[in-house]
Structures are given as structure tokens and as C-alpha cells.
Amino acid sequence: MNKLVDGNRPSHFLPILTNGLVAGLLEIVVVVSFGALVFSGGLSPSMGHGIGLTLLAAAINLAFIALLTSLPGTIGGSQDLPAVIFAGVAASIAQSLAGSAPSEEIFFTVVAAIGITTMATGACLLALGHYRLGRLVRFLPYPVMGGMLAGTGWLLSVGAISTMTDAPLGLSLFQGDELLRWLPGALFAVALLWSYERSAHAMLIPGMVLGGVLLFHTVMLMAGIDVAEMSAQGWLLGPFEEGSLWRDWSLGDLAQVHWWTIVEQGATLATIPVLSAVALLLNATGLEVAVERDVDLDRELKSAGVANLFTGAAGGYIGFQELAISAMNYRVGATSRWTGLVAALVCVAALFEGAPLMSLFPRAVLGGLLMFLGLSFLFEWVWRSRLTLPRSDYAVVIVILLSTALLGFLEAVAIGLALAAVLFVVHYSRVDVLRQTLSGANFHSRVIRAPSQREALRKLGDAICVLRLQGYLFFGTATRLLEQVRRRLNASDLPAMRFAVLDFHHVTGVDTTITLTFKKLSKLTKPRQITLVVTGASATVIAQLARAGLREGEGYHLLSNLDSGLEWCESQLLDDTPEIQARQDADMPVREVLANMLSHPNLVECLLNYLQREDLMAGQRLMRRGESPDNLYVLISGQLTAQHEQTDAPGREPLRLSTQRGAQVVGEIGFYLGQPRSADVIADEPSVVYRLSAEALRRMELHDPQLASELHRLIVRQLAGRVTHLTDAVSALAR
């Protein structure tokens, strides 16, 4: 009850009451047209009770959505898209049972089909909201949705004609008597569409409908045709049975339902929950933009789900949040749950007391309103969208529209989905599967090597071709990979390729055709003694490569990430190059290492007086992230790695920042800046370092300024080399 009272000041009562009445009247006009659409033709004798069902459904939807919505003031109502499909199903059921079942059984079969579908839709909406799966329905391709709405417009327009005249579609509609029955309604629809495009005022439709009713009766009375004669000649909806439009139901009525006939319509009815969920979310997100307030989409799904469960149990139509009138409520300040409840009461009043007035409703005006709804869909998706949609998407819309007209709604949806799938494959195959193509000459691993080795890799690195892949690899995109490898193999201005590094880190998935692609790739590389190095591959990709016949060590190497793959390739290049000194740093005495590092070798002995030797075992931690930077280290032999523990992803291996081999200064940044250590530094193998403390550096600067200056220059040179290393990598990635 607090939901109904909170925030409702007396100054808000007038807009709440006014907008509630307007919403109720507008809903009555719309749902009566839906009732006439569904219960036309062979179901015309049951039209009164069919309209009663639409009014009951409208009242239930209005009330439940008003109470449960996340945005007070939101109006719910019966929807045109499900109504159009229900009309087609009702016509099929009536045709199937004609001559073999009495009208009562046909009526109850149609009502059961509508009720079951509405309840199923309610359950689906409720489940989507409960499990927060609302975003899933947004995967329906946009042009398919547009095509279905255009098809809905066509079916509404055709249904409008069948509401105004009982003549079948064809040339007979243009004969004198039949033309008079539907042409005024068509002109009314065009006038309503023209007016609505220029002023979407909330009172426009009710006002024009009322004007159309008055004009119709005035013209007929001037022609000397009274109400009884109009009704007898089929110009009016009525006459209805005595009393209200409500009819009492009982479980015994279910015995009259032809269940197998409903099952035969199951495929068509099954499209309604999906389409309803998509349409609901489109309305809800549109409302979010219109009122500039956040809407809880999952709660809106649940509120509509509950409403449709009760509506379906009563045999009523599907309904959910309306966009236009809900936005109008916010513009005028009718942001209360009472707005929807007042509208629901108006529909209830029409259900029990509105039969006499509705029996006077002209079919031409009602059909014109239906045709207006249909033309508005066609205008939006056939005329306007031609300027906004890509040609291929617009073609899908038109194909679905034509398929709806020629084959049927369900067939059109299937054709549309198939077309969308084909277009997706075509468009996605144009997406370059190669995120980047890099050379090992300017894109290196995070291993910081000796200057001579770095220079060698700049000269020899073109033998390493790095292909960073992205997206989904399938038959439409994998060919691009083969083309790039062939192009690199045929490049006469580059040295022969020795390693093709394929990085799968940004690959979202692969299909089975990747097996054939790698078989072809292996045939290209094996005869040339090129090693395929695969990095960052998922278990699925690794399994596919195994099926392609790739075996570790047979021209194929598998590593966990791109950095490790580059390091392996670089090491292979250096080890296989005779002119590079491959002597291990561990074999070099400390004095020789320091002499190679300093510009003045004669300062080595003096430097050793300030250093203290430390021997590290494999896996021993030299520095810990966050600790005080009191020491600087010179790596004489072995290998150290700076790494980050990935605390946000437990179980994942640490992120390697850099790896340094002998003849390197370590920990200089934190040491000079006085900042805590930014990473853990761990020995990868038995290593020897010499430690220089902050106190020792101060003594050096005081007593041996030349040595201190030489040490500072050494560190500057090392930092410059690392910056160059990073600049090369950034430049390579930016290409």
C-alpha cells in the first residue's frame, strides 16, 4: 500500500486522474480493434466475447504492471505484434475446424490457444527476469526484428481490410459496395498517420477516433440509414448479446477444446514469447532514454511475466510496457502507480457496461485504426529505414516482408534468420583475422639480454614472423592466415623465415575447419624447415591442432603465451648463430663481467670494495613487492625475473614484467626514486649478484666521485637501452 501512497501529493491527483482516463480510453480503442481483428471472418459471431477477453486482458496488464514496475507511471497494455500472430492462428483454427465442429468449440479452441501462449510467454518473461537473462534476447538480429515488424504492419493492414469487409483479398474489393466498406477506413488510416507524424499528442488518436465515429454516423443518418439498418448491413461491430461483454467460464469448457489443432499451430505460437521479450526490452530501453531514468530491465521482465500469467489464465492477450503513453505520463508529472490503476478501472467499466456503446462502433473506423497501426510499421521499416540501414540489412527487411505476404509469418521469420546468418558469415569473414603482423627484429620478448645479443636479434629478428590472431576462426576467416604466411614466404626483401609465431590470445573460438587450415599451413612450412610456434591457445585449439597432425618437436612448438614464445625463438636464433658468443655468463669471472660493463675497466677493483656477493638458489626471492629499496644489485651470472602476482585471478601464473641475464643492474628504479619495490624479483636458476647498499653509494660519492659518476653513467646507459627496447615494441604494435 505504501507504493500507492508515497509521493502522491494532492497537486498530482489531477494529472494522475486525467492521464489514467486517457490511457484507459486509448487502451479500449486499441484492444477492441485487436478483438475485432482476431475474431473476424468465421469467428464473427463470437466477436463480442472476444472483445471482452481483450478488455479483461488490458485491465489485468494495466493493474499488475502498474504495481510491479520499477518505474511508477509506466503503463502496460495489449500488444499488436502478438495480436497479429493470434489473428493468423485463429483464422487457421477456424478454417481447420469449419464444418466439423460447432462455433462454440472453435471459439474455445482459439481462446485456449491464446491463453496457453500468453501463460507460456509470461513464464518465459518471468524466467528471463529471475535469472537476469534479459540481455540474451538482444541477440536477435536487428534487421530480422525490423522485417518482422514490417511483416506485422502488412498483416495488420490486411487484417484491417478483413475487419471492414468480409470479401476475400482480390479484385472483388474494388467493386462498388465492397470499395465503400474499406476505402473510407483506409483514408482515415492515412489521415491518422499523417497527423500522427506531425503531432504525436496523447489525445490525437482518441480525438480522431471519436471524430471518425461521429462523422460516420452523421453521414449515414443523412443518407437515411438508421442504426438498426447499419447494424443489419454489417457497418457496425454490433449487435452484441444482451448484457456485458464478459462471459463466465468454467473448467468444463476445456472439454470443448480441440487440443491437437492447437498443437498444429505450435510452431507459429512458439515465436511469440521470443518476439514479445525483444519488443518488451525495446520499449523498456526506449522509455529509459525518454524519461532519462534508469530502468531495471529484469524487474520489468518479471512484472510483465506475472501479468501475463494471470492474463493467460483468464484467456487474455499478451501485454507489456507501453512506450509512448508511459513517456507522456512523465512529461506531465503523472508518475504514480495510480495512473495505471485508473486506466485498468476504465477498462473494467467498459467490459461490464460498454457493450451498448461498442455495438455502435463503425467497422470502418476500427479497421482504419488497425490499418494506421500497420501503416506506421510499414512507414518506419520500409520507408524510413531505407535511409538508415545498410543495403544488405534493408534487403533482409524487404525479403521478410515479402515472405510474410506470400508465404506466412513463420516462414518469413525462418527465411529472415537464415538470411541474417548468411550476412553475418559474409560480414564477419571480412573482419581481418590478423590483429597484427610483427617482426622479431623490432618486437622482442621481455628478456633483457646483453647488448651484443640485442644487436644480433635486430639483424636476425626478421626470421621470426609474429601473427597475432583475433576473433572467431572459421572457414570464412582462416584463409586470410594462409594468405599472409604465403605473402611472407614470397617476400624477397626479407631473410628466410625460420619461425612463424601464431598467437591465439585474442581468439574467441575456432570451428573444425581450422584443422584443414593448419594441415595446409604445415605443408607450407615443413619443407622450408620453418617451425610453427603456437602461443596463448585454449585447450580446444590445442585439440584441433592435434587432430591436424601437429606434434610437439616436429616443426611445431606450443607455449603458454606470446612472450614465452618470442623468448624461445630468440634463444634458438642466438644458439644457432656461430658468430654470436654463446659462452654462458657463469663462465666469466666477476672482474671480467664488471670490466665489460664499465667504460673504465681500471675502476673494477675499486668498485668491488663497495659490493657484497650474494648467491641465490633457483626460486629464491631477491626482492619483494612493496619492500623498501635499500639496495642496488649487479647480476653477474644466472637469470632473474621481475613479476607480478595476479591477485585478481587466483590460480593464474604470475605476470612476467622482465627477465634479465648476467651483466645487468637490477632494482635501480626504486633505488634512485626512493619508492617501494614495484615487483617481485626471483632467481630462475642459481645466480650470483653483488649488492650495493644506499650507505655504500653515499660513501662512494664522498670518497670515490669518479667511480660514482661512472656507475651513474652505466645505469643511464642501461635505462636508455631498456627504453629503446620498449620503444621498439610500442612502435611495432602501433603499426
Q: Which of the listed residues 557, 575, 593 is the one where a domain comes to its end? A: 575
Rounded mean pLDDT for each run of 10 residues along the chain, 735 residues in total: 48 70 81 86 83 90 92 86 89 89 91 95 94 74 83 85 78 80 91 85 78 90 87 79 68 87 92 88 74 82 94 90 75 78 89 80 85 88 90 91 87 86 77 82 84 81 90 76 85 87 87 78 87 89 78 82 91 77 58 87 90 93 91 91 76 81 86 89 92 93 92 89 75 66
User: How far, rounded to the nearest angstrom, does the alpha carbon of residue 559 sit from its chain's CA centroid?
Assistant: 33
Alpha helices, DSSP H, located in 292-336: 297-313, 324-332
CATH assignment of the domain containing 458: 3.30.750.24
Number of separate domains in the chain: 3
> Would residue 416 count as lying in a domain?
no
Q: For residue 649, what pLDDT is reported?
A: 61
In angstroms, the CA 192 to CA 200 distance is: 10
Query: What are the grid coordinates assigned to 340, written together?
Result: 495505471
Q: Does residue 164 sit in the same domain as residue 285? A: yes
Torsions phi, psi for 247 (to 5 deg)? -130, 135
Q: For cell 482516463, what's the residue?
A: 21
Same domain, 565 and 676: no
With residue 472 as reference, give the H or E element that holds it.
strand 464-473
On whether both 487 and 373 belong to a single domain, the answer is: no
Question: Is 383 part of any domain?
Answer: no
pTM: predicted TM-score of the whole model, two decimal places: 0.65
Do residues 135 and 28 both lie within one domain?
yes
Residues 561, 643: Cα–Cα separation, whole Å: 15
| C-alpha–C-alpha distance, residues 628 and 232, integer Å | 99
Residue 726 lies in a domain: yes
Domain end residue (candidates: 517, 549, 575): 575
pLDDT of residue 689: 92
Torsions phi, psi of 490, nearest 5?
-90, 5
Write out the DSSP string of 510-567: E-THHHHHHHHHHHHHGGGTPEEEEES--HHHHHHHHHTT--TTSSEEEESSHHHHHH
Q: Is residue 474 part of a domain?
A: yes
> Distance between CA atoms of 706 and 694, rounded to whole angstroms?
17
Q: Are residues 322 and 356 in the same domain?
A: yes
Question: What would you report as the CA-atom Rg of the chain, rounded to the nearest whole angstrom?
Answer: 39
Pick from 415, 390, 335, 478: nearest CA to 12: 335
In a domain, 423, yes or no: no
481 and 601 fall within a common domain? no
Q: Is 423 in contact with 396 (CB distance < 8 Å)?
A: yes
Q: What angle do CA 456, 461, 466 make, to 5 degrees?
A: 155
Residue 562 in grid coordinates? 606470446
Q: How far is residue 501's CA from residue 464's CA, in Å, rounded to a whole number?
A: 7
Helix (H) or strand (E) holding 639: strand 639-644
CA distance 618 to 420: 57
Distance CA 61, CA 308 (A): 7
Residue 420, in any domain of the structure: no
Grid look-up 604494435 returns 733
The Cα 345–Cα 143 span in angstroms is 38
Query: CA 101 → CA 38, 178, 256, 265, distances in Å?
Result: 19, 30, 9, 17
Q: What distance in Å separates the CA atoms of residue 649 and residue 88, rounded to the nearest whole number?
A: 54
Nearest C-alpha neighbor of 658 from the set 637, 632, 684, 676: 684
Q: 284 is written with which cell numbers?
A: 523498456
Residues 147 and 23 in one domain: yes
476 and 589 fall within a common domain = no
395 domain-assigned:
no
Nearest CA to 77 among 90, 64, 89, 86? 64
What pLDDT is recorded for position 584? Answer: 44
DSSP 237-297: S-PPPSS-S-----GGGGGG--HHHHHHTHHHHHHHHHHHHHHHHHHHHHHHHHHTS---H
Same domain, 690 and 729: yes
Strand, helix or coil for residue 88: helix
Residue 226 DSSP code = -
Quickly count: other Cβ atoms within 10 Å of residue 591's Cβ.
Answer: 14
- Dihedral sign (CA 186, 187, 192, 193): positive
User: Does residue 184 contact residue 364 with C-beta atoms inside 8 Å?
Assistant: yes
- From the list 84, 132, 408, 431, the residue with the least C-alpha distance to 272 is 84
Q: Are 599 and 710 contained in the same domain?
A: yes
Task: Return the CATH number at 705.
Answer: 2.60.120.10
| C-alpha cell recorded at residue 479 | 584463409
The pairing of beta strand 531-535 with beta strand 499-510 = parallel
Q: Are 588 and 642 in contact (CB under 8 A)?
A: no
Cis amide bond preceding 239, omega within 30: yes
The verdict on 467 and 342 lying in the same domain is: no
Q: For residue 158, what pLDDT is reported?
A: 85
Print the domain residue range for 511. Answer: 434-575
Residue 63 has a pLDDT of: 94
Question: Is 403 among the domain residues?
Answer: no
Of 575, 596, 624, the last residue of a domain is 575
What number of residues does the chain have? 735
C-alpha span between 198 and 298 (Å, rounded) = 34
The per-residue pLDDT for 265 is 92
Strands 499-510 and 464-473: parallel
| DSSP secondary structure letter of residue 624 | -
215 and 241 part of one domain: yes
